[in-house]
Amino acid sequence: MIIQGDDQAKPDIGVQLAEKMVERDKVDVITGINFSNVMLAVAKPVLESKTLLLSVNAGPSQLAGKECHPYYFSISYQNDNVAEAMGQFLAAKGVKTVYLMAPNYPSGKDQMNGFKRFYHGQIVGEVYTQFNQPDYAAELAQIRQTKPEAVFYFYPGGMGINFLKQYAQAGLKSEIPLYGPSFSLDQTILPAVGDAALGAFSTSFWSETMDTSLNRKFVADFEATYGRVPSPYAATAYDGALALNSAIKAAGGSKNREAVRKALETVKLDSVRGDIKFNTNHHPIQNYYLYEVVKDPKGRLTNAHRSEVFRQHKDAYFESCKM
């Protein structure tokens, strides 16, 4: 049985829903949380009850390091990782000055910290805007004045749509290249942004164009069912279901949480991303790639593979995890 709730990207509502699911509904697994601030709030009551918490998106640094837990697994990534790949790419490219922008919440801080871990040029600006801020005129004026060689930004969902449109409308698109993690240029954003996103680059563990047999089938089936191209959120949710299903089978179909937990640690992860496995902190070890926004043969915006940045990359926090 599946029980659903909408946390509305609000930590307090997330906690209320999680406590109800754990205490009243007696669920065995909680999953589906998108935002890191909600995940961090929900983790305490869920993990204290020894309920499995399977992240299919949010990957806050705290839960990858000192606050890791035997009952917490991230099938997706650790927040810093996608930005680390872009920091590595821009450093190798020889970009000397970069301006950083992100919303002021845990994932925004993780993304920028990850970028700076691998980028060793000059950070000429680092701005954290209000979460769900709709207008970026002041920040765009500052970028124009600062004149960096590149802008690295992290704005998922509606924030990303607004930022990309305003960046192009301000005339900056032709002057200063944009680089972001996949969540700033994915299929939840591209259809609404249109050509303003063309030519922007992102780094990711997955794209709708990834050429694996399982991914080709996943993308085709998703499009046939929903009439749109899947996003990374859909891909990691699908992988989460595959991983959980495999663990339950490996545990002999048992609903014993401890048996399923142990099975998750060692189960072979069939993934649309190809070769991934869990590290000792229950976060994935996986590849990261560079993508460029282009138009596919149907005229749709899509993320085209350009190069591999990291192979079997581990997050920066696993050595601090003591389980």
pLDDT (tens digit, 9 = 90+) per residue, 9-23? 999 999 999 999 999
Predicted pLDDT of residue 205:
97
Percent of the chain surpassing pLDDT 90: 94
CA distance 56 to 207: 16
User: How do residues 25-62 score in pLDDT, each as one tens digit?
Assistant: 999 999 999 999 999 999 999 999 999 999 999 999 99
Predicted confidence (pLDDT) at residue 253 exceeds the cutoff of 90: no
Residue 85 sits in the same domain as residue 73: no
Q: Is residue 242 part of a domain?
A: yes
73 domain residue, yes or no: yes
Which of 188, 240, 181 is closest to 206 using CA atoms? 181
Pairing of strands 284-295, 201-204: antiparallel
- Distance CA(177)–CA(95), nearest Å, equals 11
The domain that contains 139 carries what CATH number? Answer: 3.40.50.2300
Helix (H, G, I), strand (E, B) or coil at 320: helix
- Residue 72 belongs to domain spanning: 11-79+231-286
Helix axes 106-118, 36-48, angle to 10 degrees: 110
- Could you tell me if residue 4 is inside a domain? no
Distance CA(134)–CA(163), nearest Å, equals 8
Residue 282: pLDDT over 80: yes
Instruction: Please tell me whether residues 200 and 261 are part of one structural domain.
Output: no
* CB count in 10 Å sphere of residue 193: 21
Tell whether 238 and 304 lie within a shared domain: no
SS3 of residue 268 by DSSP: coil
Output the pTM of the full model. Answer: 0.95
174 in the same domain as 101:
yes
Using pLDDT thresholds of 50, 70 and 90, give the confidence band for residue 256. confident
Residue closest to 27 by CA, chosen among 38, 42, 37, 41: 42
Q: For 21, how many CA atoms within 13 A lie in the half-sphere containing its CB?
A: 27
Closest of 124, 134, 129 to residue 108, by C-alpha: 129
Q: Are residues 167 and 306 in the same domain?
A: yes
Average pLDDT over residues 117-140: 97
**319 falls within a domain:** no
Rounded CA-CA distance 289/88 in Å is 11
Q: What is the pLDDT of residues 171-188, one digit of tens each?
A: 999 999 999 999 999 999
> pLDDT (tens digit, 9 = 90+) per residue, 140-174?
999 999 999 999 999 999 999 999 999 999 999 99
Q: Does 88 share its domain with 75?
A: no
Query: Are both 162 and 298 inside the same structural domain?
Result: yes
Whether 323 is in a domain gets the answer no
The verdict on 73 and 18 lying in the same domain is yes
Distance CA 41, CA 321 (A): 19
Q: For residue 253, give Cα distances in angstroms to 53, 55, 157, 195, 244.
A: 19, 21, 37, 48, 11
Least confident span in 65-74, 113-122, 247-256: 247-256
Residues 254 and 166 placed together within one structural domain of the fold: no
- The reply to whether 253 falls in a domain is yes
Residue 181 sits in the same domain as residue 49: no
Q: Is the pLDDT of residue 71 over 90?
A: yes
What SS3 class is residue 149? coil
Q: Are residues 200 and 307 in the same domain?
A: yes
Residue 124 in any domain: the answer is yes
Q: Is residue 240 in some structural domain?
A: yes
pLDDT at 255 over 80: no
Task: Examine the domain organization and report whether 31 and 97 are in the same domain.
Answer: no
Structural domain total, the chain: 2
User: What is the pLDDT averaged over residues 100-122?
Assistant: 97
